[in-house]
Structure formats: C-alpha cells, structure tokens
Chain A
C-alpha cells in the first residue's frame, strides 16, 4: 500500500473534510456511550437540546464558544507559521490573572471606556510574554517550543495559584483561593439581556475576521505564511525570519491572553485555578478542525462549545460521565488529522 499526493483538491473535499471528521468522532464516541448502556442517538439529541434548546442554553453555548474562538485563533495563527504554541492554557491564565491584578489593584474606579480597553491590552500582553519566552529559546538555543510552552503551562498555573493565595487573595472568599474581583465598571457589557453572553463574543468574532483579512491580504500575512511553509525559501526572499516569527508569537500569545482576560471580564470577574476547563488545549483542537482557517475557527469553536455545554445536561439525564465531551473533542482532532490526510493523498495499490 502506498500513498500518492493528490494534484488537485476539489473545494467540496476541503469543506467535507471536517464534517466527515466530526461524524467519525461522533460515531466513535457513540461506541463509548453504547458501552455505558445508554441510547446513542438520544444522547446526541440531548446534547443538541442541552446546547440550543432554550434561550439560556443557546447563550451559554455562545459564551462558552468565546474563549475557544480566541484560543483557537491563537493556535491557528501560530501553527500556520509553524510556531508550535501549545502553551495556550498558560497564556490564558496569565492573561486572566494580569487582568485581575491590574483591575483590582490599580484601576480604582476609572470609567469603563478607559479601563476595559486597558485591561484587554493588559491580558493580551501577559499572554504575549509567556509565548515569547519559548520562541526566544527556540531562536536562541534551538529548543523545541512544543515542550517548553507545555511546561510553561504548569508554571503559569502555579503563578496564578501563588498570587490568589497571596497578594491578590480575596479576603471575603472564606479562605477559598480566589482573586480579588475587577471593578464592575470594567466588566464587559452583556450582549444579551439576562444571560451570561457578553461583548467578548463580539470581540472574538471581529478578531476572526480581522485575522482572516490580515492573513489573506496583508504583507505580514504573506510573509508569516512563507516563514511557516519554508524557512529557507522565506530567508532567501528576504523575509526576516526571527522578527516575523516573534510577531506571530505576539499575535498568538496575545490572543490566548485575551481569551483569559475576556473570560474574567465577561463571566467571572475574578480568577480561580479552575477558570479554564482546558480552553488552551481545546483551542488546538478547534484550530485543527478549522484547517487553521480563522473563519473556520468560529464554526469549530461552536462545535466544541456545543459538545461541552450539551454534554452537561445529557450526562445528568443519562448518567454518562460528561467527560464524553472531552473524548469526542479529542477524537475529532485525531479523525480530522486522518481526514485531512486522505483529502491530500490517495491510496495506490
């Protein structure tokens, strides 16, 4: 058996690929649901209802999709330039804690039109810094940034834990480790009245379009793609490799940091060490499902959020552990990889 590259990829195949991958992942998780003795189709129906069955659940799904869109964009932007940012989780937390620190300690009662943009930038910068470290180590010592950015996730969570146990500890939280809250004026306004859905969703959506535009129309987009596809070719064409990759890292880390900032400013108001149920890692899946396309990220994030939100209700009703959502999402990464492969290659003999 041998594989041969397809000369041409029909558009239909490109669009079908993620759908087939998701279908395969759902089918495989179906086996696990069946193994638990639950009706598979009903389980998926309940997931759908759980995610979109009411105004509340639909807005909840969109709320959950917001950080996933941002971490997904972070991964997509980086992977496209072959910067393997697996540190989204750490960047998310650092962005979140930076917002909590600046918001609760420095801002006082500055008006929202000042504090909100300032806090968003603060979160993004914190995320940037955490990704610049591994990228700098790669450029300087040729250390694989996959492992370093992964290791930094643990460091970042410990930093957060240290701060909310120490200087940022909320004295009113009954000894529970939780940061002091950002002032109410610095919270993002709600997008839908009487729901948790906030303006962060709009910001994420706008950013997806901005990044799509930047990648397809700007000089920076062209150069960063060249740097990712072929470092030698890019250098020969005069693309400053280190500077381009650093910029990519800033955008990617910034997006993941922003995800943390927005989660704090939009939903919680404060930081705990379980603020993220793995948003950083899920962002990688989202990016891959999207084929690294910024607009695809929006859809992939919705799928992932649907699974997570819907699985909660389903799991209560059918007595299936809600971890089934994590399994499905992880499986869809693997099936997507395989699907992309078969979209690019055909089997010969």
Chain B
C-alpha cells in the first residue's frame, strides 16, 4: 500500500435541516486517482469545499500527511499542498494568465512582484505536464479548455501535491476531456494525488484507481475500479433507481416548425451558423451538445428574445418574420428556459405572478390594464394541483420553492395551455432524480398529446430516453438528424465532438 497523503475523518456538515455531509471518512494515497461519484446533491461539492477550507465542518477533521488541517482556512489548505480546480473557474477574465496564477502567491506587502521568476516557473510547469498556455494572454480571450488549464496550473504553481477537480469535464468536449484525463494520469505518475468529482460513469471507470460513492450526504461504498462495473456503480450511486420514463413508439405528425439555414449574430459574433431542422407534431427532437456551443442562442431565438440575421423560419408551414415573446406565446409555443432562477421565474415575485406574467395581457388575466388577480391566482392553483408543485401556494414567494418545484411550475404554466410546440432547454438540469422523472414524464405526455418538443440538453441519457430524432450542436452548427433508435452513446459522443463535419467535407 502506498503512503496515505490525505485523510478525511468523520466530516459532517448541515445547511439548515439538510445534512449535506454525514460522518464521511475517506483516504487518498500518493500517486492515486480517486473518483468521488454521486448525483447532484449527494454532497460531493460540499465535502470538497470543506476540504479546501471554503466551509467549516460541523464535526470531524482533515489530516494531510497525518497533520490536522485548521478548518475553514483556504490559505492553510493551499499551504498544506491542496489545490482545487472549480467547476465554475475561479478566474478573472480581465486579468492575464500570469496575474491569475500569481494572485496571493507572494507576501502581500512586498515592494515588487517577481514577475520574471513567476513566468519562468509557470513555463516550466506547463512544459512538464503538457499544459501549454500563453502567460500574457488576457484570460477572457482563452477557450474554456485553455481556461481550465490555467486553473490547473494555478494549483500546481502553489506546489499542490493533492489536486481536487470538481466535475472537470462538465464544460469540455469529448476530445478536450480525453486530453485532460491523459494529463491527470501523467500527474499521478509523477507522484501527485488526485480526487475528481463526477457523475459520469464512463470517465470514472476509465480514469480512477478507486471510486468513492456518495449518496444523500453519506458515503455508501468504496470500490477499486478494477473490481467493479459500470452497472454496480450506477446502482450504488442512485440507490433504488427511480425509473426514468422512456418514450413509446408513436406516430409523428406534420412538421410545425422548420428552420432553413438560419444564422444568428450576437455582438458581432456568429453564434448560430446556417442551422436547419424540422420539428414535427408529436415528436421530441433532441439537440445535444456540450454547453457553450450555441444552445442558449438557439433557445433564445425560438423563445422570441433574439432575432436572426439570416435564413427562414417556417411556423405551421408559413414563413414568418421575427417573433416577439408575445407573438411566440400567442402562437402556442411553450418555453422552458435553461436558466430557471434568472429567466424562468422571478424569485422575489409570488408564484401566481410568475404563472401569468407572460400572459398578463390576455383578456382573461387583465382588463383595461387592471390585473384580474382572482383569475390569475386560480390559474396558478390549477398548475399547482395538476403539476404537483409542492412547497407553497399561489401567494408564496417563488424563491422559496425548490429547483424541482420551480421547474414544475414553469413547465406547468406552459403545458396547462396545451401548446403545439414546446421549446425545452436543459429542463432537468440540476434536479434530483425524482424531479427528473416527473419532468420527463410531463414532456412525454405532451408528445403523446401531439405537442412538438424541441429538447435542448447536455445529458446523453436524457436525450436518448426522450428524443425520437437527435441533432448535435457544435460551434453554432447543427448536424443532420439521426434516429434515436439507430445511435448509441458512443456515436452521439462523436457527434458532439463534431465528427459529422468531417464526413460532410
């Protein structure tokens, strides 16, 4: 057995009534890669935040090389050789790479920054681990993959011997992810110890030496990856699996929404490039892709908040101009935005206000500019009842609802109107399994009732489970559609990396 570099000893942490970590103990050996596997809300990020000193644990302690780490002090964690690579990078876009890396590494009150020495050290680290990046580039000008390299270099620059990566592949393409894991293995070979957080079974199996599974704030299992299987891990991670509903075969109808070579330009950059798709009544068309490839723009375009710069859109067979939000709603297009807390609902407003805001000008909710509060509250009540929104009534402030219930409210206010088209962007992102199943069931019900659903998602399982046909979005371009029955996860992974473009060329 190799030497133990890190020990987490019975760490607990609660937020209000929610026990995010419940007496978790684990160890990490020198040169070892451990995967911390668990669903959203299993307590992975909380545990790592305690480890890195962002949070104070309620109980328990952390030892590095047998020495207790003072809790709640990031600086102590850095000194002990712990480095953290956050999922949402902790970087400043307006500063250079070197400045980002150097912050906090020198005595605060020295008279001069030793930029020369720092640049040399950064370069040698970059070469040693194959993490090439220009030290003087403005960080905001780098790609996501490059920014992640900076984040890793930052940890290495602080002489980290233990590296924690929080969902490192969430924002990467498959190709970038492969490069990343090669780098990680090289680091482990050179004696660094790594913990990476993930809920993706494939990358866990392929990369980790050991897997620690968290569920509901508890450590439920520990396995050597050589001695376990994908299926076992899946079961351990989810516990008794909540079955996600899966679509049944079903005849699709006429095309209702078509895009022909549509481009969208935002702030002088082409975000969508000549995309084409055809959405039929009674089908789910999945748009899959790694985030940041134009999904947001596509969703906004179809939700009526962005205008196209060229191309044609056909609604119910007729060419249309740019639609406003009001036109979109009036045309029977339901919209579920990807950012539910900022776009989908206004947290400080009551549930009933969020239920009717996009339809407030309709005569049933207002007359002569006066809100018919009774009708609006009744509408909200219907949604709450029919869509099982829990945690409050029509008068509750929406912020107090959980993510899943907020999403049910958003979905409900659209589906209650039996829309002909539903634009659903990342509808299940960040929800717990129960809520995911509920959202999926609603989407499939709508499909059955003849609604045309455009499902924009990053989640392969979701798209495979729900969609009839799938198109991938890469760099603002849309692949040709494939039938969901004819592809597997591997083929979709290739599509998400843009493989179809080579075929076409």
* In contact, B326 and A238 (Cβ under 8 angstroms): yes
Q: Nearest chain A CB to B484's CB is how many angstroms away?
A: 29
* In contact, A236 and B337 (Cβ under 8 angstroms): yes
Q: Considering only CB atoms and an 8 Å cut-off, how many residues of chain A contact the other chain?
A: 20
Q: How many A-B residue pairs have CB under 8 A?
A: 66
Q: Nearest chain B CB to A230's CB is how many angstroms away?
A: 4
* In contact, B342 and A232 (Cβ under 8 angstroms): yes
* In contact, A233 and B329 (Cβ under 8 angstroms): no
CB contacts under 8 Å to B, within A206-228, are 217-223, 225-226
Q: How far is the CA of A233 from the CA of B335 in the complex (A)?
A: 13
Contacts of B69 in A (CB 8 A): none
Contacts of A218 in B (CB 8 A): 369-371
A237 beta carbon closer than 8 Å to chain B: yes
Q: Nearest chain A CB to B337's CB is how many angstroms away?
A: 6
Q: Nearest chain A CB to B462's CB is how many angstroms away?
A: 22
Known: A7-B400, A225-B349. A237 touches B325 (CB 8 A): yes
Binds A, one of B228-236, B356-364, B380-388, B473-481: B356-364
A15 beta carbon closer than 8 Å to chain B: no
* In contact, A233 and B343 (Cβ under 8 angstroms): yes
* In contact, A223 and B346 (Cβ under 8 angstroms): no
Known: A222-B353, A238-B304, A238-B358. A217 touches B324 (CB 8 A): no
Contacts of B342 in A (CB 8 A): 230, 232-233
Interface string of A62-88 (1 = CB under 8 A from B): 000000000000000000000000000
* In contact, A230 and B347 (Cβ under 8 angstroms): yes
Closest Cβ neighbor of A5 among chain B residues:
B399
A234 beta carbon closer than 8 Å to chain B: yes
Q: How far is the CA of A230 from the CA of B325 in the complex (A)?
A: 16
Interface string of B367-406 (1 = CB under 8 A from A): 0011101000000000000000000000000001000000
Q: Nearest chain B CB to A82's CB is how many angstroms away?
A: 12
Interface string of A153-165 (1 = CB under 8 A from B): 0000000000000
B344 beta carbon closer than 8 Å to chain A: yes
* In contact, B348 and A229 (Cβ under 8 angstroms): yes
Known: A230-B342, A230-B346, A233-B342. A219 touches B325 (CB 8 A): no
25 contacts between A and B (CB under 8 A): A7-B400, A219-B361, A219-B366, A222-B371, A223-B357, A223-B360, A225-B349, A226-B357, A229-B346, A229-B348, A229-B349, A230-B346, A230-B348, A232-B339, A233-B342, A233-B343, A233-B346, A236-B303, A236-B305, A236-B325, A236-B344, A237-B357, A238-B325, A238-B328, A238-B329
> Known contacts A234-B357, A235-B325; can you find 19 more A-B pairs with CB under 8 A?
A217-B370, A219-B360, A219-B369, A219-B371, A222-B357, A222-B360, A223-B360, A226-B353, A229-B347, A229-B349, A233-B342, A235-B305, A236-B305, A236-B343, A237-B358, A238-B304, A238-B325, A238-B358, A239-B357
Chain B positions within 8 Å of A, measured between CB atoms, are 303-305, 324-326, 328-329, 335, 337, 339, 342-349, 353, 357-358, 360-361, 366, 369-371, 373, 400
